[in-house]
Structures are given as structure tokens and as C-alpha cells.
Amino acid sequence: MPSELTLHQRRRDPTADELAGIPWLALLGPAERERAVADIKVGDALAGDYVCRVGRPVTYWFGVVEGLLKMSNETAQGQTITFSGLPPGGWFGEGTVLKREIYRYNVQALRRSTVAGLTADTFHWLLDHSIGFNRFVMNQLNERLAQFIAAREIDRMNNPDLRVARNLAALFNPVLFPGVGEVLRITQQELAYLVGLSRQRVNEALSSLQEQGIIEVEYGGLRILDLPSLRSAPFPTRTHA
């Protein structure tokens, strides 16, 4: 049965619509694009599937065509540390592919997702031949560094509303996740997994952000109305009776 196959075994050629959602393809010249398109494979990940795991050798540079992934690791004490959510349009792991290292993190599908992969060999070939591709990867690395620095700050925050706001802002990064747009398709439970809070506490934070006119909760997703406030506004700690 298909569900018994691994994600790698379920790989297939991408459709035209799936290729159209890959942001860096438009930056390539004709010959570079031809080689990249011939090399790209996509896989339909089921909820819980691992796209990559700690200790495995790098084989692909991955991107999210549709769905939602989580990049995380575990401490020696068994606690999960979430580095980033990965919504549509996001490509990740370029640092690992550049160094051809083993993965130092897990990436897992939070829901049924479509994941694209470009082999490490073609990734390096494009670096050798395409200025546009080099600029894209350089921007990715620069933005990723800022994201991880911000993530360390979020981990130290004791204010749940602030944690939810900053995590949401990270998911609306137009450089790293150009496929998100103005509406992020995410459930409160999925956001709770990424933030590290209970679903109830996330619900309270979202209600507060909506009351302030910063977001709008829609069916199956969230619309951002005031991204600057989501990124930088302070939120007072609310007390509970």
C-alpha cells in the first residue's frame, strides 16, 4: 500500500503547477533551469513522515510545495527544541548541503505535505554556474541566521502572547517563505506544536492578537493585518484568575 512506502519511495516528477511554486527557478538561465527541472523530484509526505533525520547523510536540498513541516531537535534530556516551522515556498538545509554534512536536525510533516527535492550534486552545479542561484542561496543563509537568532530570543520569553506573536511573524517571512502570502493555513494545534504551548494557551493568545487588530482568525488559517506589530510590539503579561 502507498502508506507503507517511504517518502523517498513515493517520489515522482513534479507537475507544472508545482514547478511554478518553486521561487528560485525563475532566477535561472534556460540551460540551468532545464538541468534543475530534470533533477527535481517531489514526494507526498504523510503527517508524521520524516523528510530528514539527525545523523543521516545529506542527499537533497528540500523545499515545501504545500503543507507544513517542523524543523526540530531533541536535547540530551529528551526535550524537543523547535527551530522553525516550514510553510509553503520555504527551502531549507542549504548549509548542510553546502558542507555535505549529516543532518543535525529532524524535519517532520505536521500534516499531509508535498515536498520537493533537488539533489546535492545539482545544487552544487548550480552554485558553479548561476549567479542568480548564488544570490538566492546567500539571501537564504543570511535570513536563516537572523531567524535562528530570533528563535533563541523567543525560547527565553516567558510571555505566551509574545511567543505566539513572534513565532507567527517568523512564519510570515517573505524571503524564506514566499508561498505564504497574507494568509497562513495552519491550525491552532499545529501552531501549538511549533510554539511549545498548549492549544488552549495558543487560542487565548490568538484571541488577544485579534482583539488588537494585529491578526484575523479565519477558517483554517490566520490573516496578518499588522506584521510590524507582530514582529516588534511588546505584549503585557496577562494574569489569570
Instruction: Say what the pLDDT of residue 53 is.
Output: 93
Q: Which CATH class is domain 158-232?
A: mainly alpha
pLDDT for 1: 40
pLDDT (0 to 100) of residue 97: 96
pLDDT of amino acid 8: 78
Cα–Cα distance measured from residue 4 to residue 13, given in angstroms and rounded to the nearest whole number: 20
Query: What is the CATH architecture assignment of 2-152?
Result: Sandwich (2.60)
Residue 30's identity, in one-letter code, is: P
Surface-to-core class of residue 112, CB atoms within 10 Å of its CB (0-12 exposed, 13-18 middle, 19+ buried): middle
Res 39: pLDDT: 97
Give me the residues of the chain with pLDDT under 70, please: 1-4, 150-157, 235-241
Q: Is 183 left (phi over 0), alpha (psi -120 to 50) or beta?
A: beta
Position 235 scores a pLDDT of 66
pLDDT of residue 9: 81
The pTM for the full model equals: 0.85
Listed by start position, the domains of the chain span 2-152, 158-232
Instruction: Name every residue whose Cβ is closer than 8 Å to that of residue 29 and which is 6 or more positions away in sequence.
Output: 130, 132
Q: What's the pLDDT at 106? A: 94
